Structure 1
């Protein structure tokens, strides 16, 4: 094993174990009467159906993909959201967010990536493929889903006539947030040819990046987001820090600050950490669940999806109004650039 890769693996291991001392956070103490002005604050009316551990067969260039698919029971053609999990996490640890979206009328397909499911698996595959290889394979996984959606309908016949493939978003958390951003134009530096590689996908109309990374390893740099132009929703919080990679939560907003302006959003919530306590990514974590932060994330991200996949003008006006900070008495804010 190369010394550099060993050092990176050790750093990732230490980062996963780090628990920083967190500053005081402002709780949600807003007047509940103000919440009626926040669109998509409540669970939607559609019944959510879930099929887990489905398999999309391999072909000559792509490995078999293990999937979970979430979709409304009611008839209709719904926008498609592909979801990319965080490093060492899995497709089945984000139900609190995914099912909320689906209840408002979306089909969500979530694959397991090579780095999924455990620390051991993640480290073994990082040694096998390297950081750039893991990043590139994630893109291949998601593009394979886009290119072979007809096969998904064979795997799960209930999807037939259920999905509108003219309205597609890619979403993700942490490492998966960067995977999503790549479909909007974010670039990855390849150390072998010392150039940035881009994977922008014109079929994708919106990006949802939950707690995206700042500069990380040698492949994700300060320049990685300069060509990100697809409408993007980013989120982070004042506790979204760790002792190794991101000692300041503001590093998670670098994508928002450096991407192309025009349709770029940032949700910041007081006291929200990388896992919303234990509500996403690491439900086994011994931490207090951050339900108020989840409520703000679900409402704001759903408003964004509605604005850019369903042309909901009221949702877009809310996103761009800056009202959320006032309505929540400073608990959450929405920036637009």
Structure 2
């Protein structure tokens, strides 16, 4: 992103896998932690991967955030291809719920995670915790921010938000359910049927591509903007021009799933998400203001930002 001032990246250290005991889950929760090798008062990001992915993906985001002062914690959820969960596994209808519980388990066991990473203990700032996620992971992050999902087994829509989480970044995240869903999504992804964004009150940056045509919805790319338009403020929306579901390649460098590889777009997401989280977590506002001003001034901008 030309003209956007960034501090120099620092060296990072990543440790994986760190196993957290998870009674009732069926297997331990495997976690990766990345952090800068220097610095104190480090804010924390719990990042939730997309359906089928794992803690090993999304290096363009995780490594960037860690190199610029964040502790990034990446769980491998049960829907990951690495777990080989059978389609008829009794846990399948609750995959969305296990994901939320994974994030909460991470927050409950930060002492364990800090101790597992050499030199990290005592350096994170536990008063500044954010969540982020892509696709299915965006819904997971949204639930932690206040989004309510109707449990397909009980029909109840509980408040599973976590007060320890102060901000979020939702990347290419599903919108409303009901008549907006394709028959396949309604039948096979029950956690998408009736979400409510009305209670998603925690500050968040929603990122959507204007060419992200999902096979899960009968609508167009605007479906991915629902987490912004259907939730109360404070929220910001970054609409990326020409971006498809992987937003230029956020899940990895030169990965085959990326249909719209665009390094400059990924760099924009890196910079703006970093600046937004520093703003939303109360670290400083100047970077977010400068980033918005720079984007607005570009003659051929890669996207636009709006806020409420």
Instruction: Name the TM-score, length of structure 1 as normaliser.
Output: 0.80
Aligned counterpart, 1:13: none
Aligned counterpart, 1:314: 286
1:125: how far off?
A: 5.2
Q: Which whole-Å deviations, capped at 9, do the CAs of 1:57-91 have from their partners, x for residues lacking one?
A: 34477841111111001132200111110000111
Distance in 2 (alpha carbons) for counterparts of 1:56 and 1:259: 33
Aligned counterpart, 1:182: 143
For residue 198 of structure 1, give the secondary structure of its aligned residue in structure 2: coil
Residue in structure 1 matching 2:168, options 173, 186, 207? 207
1:127: how far off?
A: 4.5
Gaps of 5+ in 1: 1-31
Aligned counterpart, 1:130: 92
Give the structure with the higher percent helix: 1
Residue in structure 1 matching 2:237, options 252, 255, 266? 266
Distance in 2 (alpha carbons) for counterparts of 1:254 and 1:88: 23
Instruction: Name the TM-score, length of structure 2 as normaliser.
Output: 0.87
For residue 168 of structure 1, give the secondary structure of its aligned residue in structure 2: strand
For residue 149 of structure 2, give the secondary structure of its aligned residue in structure 1: strand
For residue 110 of structure 1, give the secondary structure of its aligned residue in structure 2: strand
Distance in 1 (alpha carbons) for counterparts of 2:71 and 2:258: 31
For 1:155-304, list aligned pairs within 5 A. Answer: 155-215=116-176, 217-221=189-193, 223-245=195-217, 247-261=219-233, 263-280=234-251, 283-285=255-257, 287=259, 289-304=261-276
Farther off after superposition, 67-76 or 269-278: 269-278
Q: Indicate if the aligned counterparts of 1:222 and 1:254 stay in contact, CA closer than 8 A.
A: no
Residue in structure 1 matching 2:101, options 132, 136, 140? 140
| Gap change, CA 1:166 and 1:106, over 3 Å in 2 | same
For 1:11-22, list aligned pairs within 5 A. Answer: none
User: Any runs of at least 4 consecutive aligned residues in structure 1 with deviations exceeding 6 A, and if so which?
Assistant: none
Distance in 1 (alpha carbons) for counterparts of 2:16 and 2:75: 10
Aligned length: 296
Gaps of 5+ in 2: 178-188
Aligned counterpart, 1:81: 45
1:246: how far off?
A: 6.1
Distance in 2 (alpha carbons) for counterparts of 1:269 and 1:206: 21
Aligned counterpart, 1:121: 84
1:312: how far off?
A: 1.1
For residue 194 of structure 1, give the secondary structure of its aligned residue in structure 2: coil
| Gap change, CA 1:39 and 1:185, over 3 Å in 2 | farther
| Gap change, CA 1:259 and 1:154, over 3 Å in 2 | same
Cα RMSD for the two superposed structures: 2.5
Q: Indicate if the aligned counterparts of 1:206 and 1:305 stay in contact, CA closer than 8 A.
A: yes
